[in-house]
Amino acid sequence: MNDSVSTRVKLSILAVGLLSFTGILIETSMNVTFPTLVQQLHVDLATVQWLTTGYLLLTTIVMSTTAYILKKFDPLKIFIFAASLCFVGSIVCLSAPNFAVLMIGRLLQAVSTGLSTPLMFNLIFEEIPDSKLGLYTGLAGIVISLAPALGPTYGGIVNRIWSWREIFVGVIPLIIILFLLGWWTIQGKARGTGKMSFDYGSVVGLAIIFSMILFTFDQAGAHGWLSIRFLVWIILSLILIGLFVWYSQHSSRRLIDFSILKLPVLRLRLFSYFSLQFINIGLSFVLPVFAQTVLKLNSAQAGLMLLPGSLLGAAIGPVAGYMYDRKGATLPLLCSGGLITLGSALFWIRSDGLNLVDCKINPNAVRTKKISFL
């Protein structure tokens, strides 16, 4: 069996992976600029945070459609569309005169990231031999784990030296290079056969559900976790989720196949993965804002405090993927659970007395097939 991976395949995965990296990097880079944006765009913090919330919401919705998109369109066409949206979105953000235009640019970039991230993993599973899947998914995991942590560092330094607009100036040349690299190296055909129909109802349902979940937790932040408003919205969200599951089970066009959740191990892995994502992205948003508003640090310091952990995660990710290929998933998952529990406990115990040093040493997550630190 030939387990070698050609240079073309490596470069194609690199192009798509770095496009995803760029999108996530920009998303978290903006977190440290929120105090600046509040002053310059004349909006409050609750409004500015939609640059992150809206971005992640649309990214999630787009990702939910990629099972259909990957079957309908060739990988190169998907990549060209995603890279073009990322480029146009960066130009729009760079020249945005107000918050509304900036939000539009961020949403264009959200669509790009929502397409490129699943495409990256699809290329890996399609073109990488089974014996090296752990290693390459570990490398791909750097995109997910490293970019959210490096983003505040990049954004903080750029915002400190120049302005928040230069965040987009810095990535535009990279997007052009990645576009050309992907154009030359990405191959393959759509995997779907025959006539395919798209389940628009499920997409609308998912958008409503995700929006309700965000609004529900917003109620918790505004009125408390034990408030009547929060509890009412929790109940409404659960009812809507139940209706969506019922619709998906009885629809002939399934955007999401919930039958796979009958496997206990898969349910546990999904819970672990989404919990880690929630904590990782949440902390990358909360810590820079906390550092600037409570610790009174500047944007560069707020961003740099996440750098040590992000570099450590980048170094360990491929090692954990190699470990998965040789020993299986048990050891990485045990490390994952232990580290995330320890890191969360430290934040909880030290919440009243956090300082810059405490914020820098947050061991985060070892995800399935890879290890990641914030």
CA distance 346 to 368: 23
Instruction: Kindly tell me if the per-residue pLDDT of 347 is higher than 90.
Output: no
pLDDT at position 38 is 85
CA distance 239 to 315: 43
pLDDT at position 51 is 86
Residue 371 pLDDT class (50, 70, 90 cuts): very low
Instruction: Kindly tell me if the per-residue pLDDT of 148 is higher than 50.
Output: yes
Residue-averaged pLDDT of the chain: 78
pLDDT at position 356 is 63
Neighbouring CB atoms inside 10 A of 23's CB total 30
Which structure tokens are listed for 236? 């409404």
List, in order, residues 6 or more apart from 350 with CB less than 8 Å away.
358
CA distance 314 to 311: 5
Domain extents for the chain? 7-198+253-360, 199-252
Residue 87 pLDDT class (50, 70, 90 cuts): very high
Residue 89 pLDDT class (50, 70, 90 cuts): very high
25, 77 Cβ separation under 8 angstroms: no
In total, the chain counts a number of residues equal to 374
Instruction: Kindly tell me if the per-residue pLDDT of 19 is higher than 70.
Output: yes
Instruction: Kindly tell me if the per-residue pLDDT of 88 is higher than 90.
Output: yes
- Angstrom distances, CA of residue 162 to CA of 50, 168, 300, 329: 23, 12, 11, 44
Quickly list H helices, the chain. Answer: 7-29, 34-41, 45-48, 50-64, 66-72, 75-94, 99-127, 133-161, 166-185, 200-223, 228-250, 264-293, 299-304, 307-327, 330-349, 356-360
- Angstrom distances, CA of residue 27 to CA of 55, 137, 166: 8, 22, 14
Q: Look at 287 and 255; give whichever has higher pLDDT.
A: 287
Instruction: Kindly tell me if the per-residue pLDDT of 253 is higher than 70.
Output: no
List, in order, residues 6 or more apart from 311 with CB less than 8 Å away.
none
| Domain 7-198+253-360, second-level architecture | Up-down Bundle (1.20)
pLDDT at position 254 is 64
CA distance 64 to 200: 11
Residue 252 pLDDT class (50, 70, 90 cuts): low
pLDDT at position 53 is 81
Residue 372 pLDDT class (50, 70, 90 cuts): very low
For the stretch 164-217, pLDDT in tens is 888 888 889 999 999 999 899 888 787 766 566 677 777 787 788 878 887 787
Give which of 195, 182, 368 is closest to 274, Cα–Cα: 368
pLDDT at position 370 is 35
Instruction: Kindly tell me if the per-residue pLDDT of 359 is higher than 70.
Output: no
SS3 129: coil
Instruction: Kindly tell me if the per-residue pLDDT of 368 is higher than 60.
Output: no
For the stretch 277-336, pLDDT in tens is 777 767 766 777 777 777 777 767 776 777 777 777 767 766 776 777 677 777 777 777
Largest CA-CA distance found in the chain, in angstroms, rounded: 62
145, 367 Cβ separation under 8 angstroms: yes
CA distance 210 to 229: 18
Q: Please give the share of the chain, as a percent, with pLDDT higher than 70.
A: 82
For the stretch 35-84, pLDDT in tens is 888 888 888 877 888 888 888 888 888 888 887 788 888 889 999 999 99
pTM of the model as a whole: 0.73
**Residue 200, Cβ density class (10 Å: 0-12 exposed, 13-18 middle, ≥19 buried):** exposed
Task: Give residue 224's region: left, alpha or beta (phi > 0; psi -120 to 50).
Answer: left
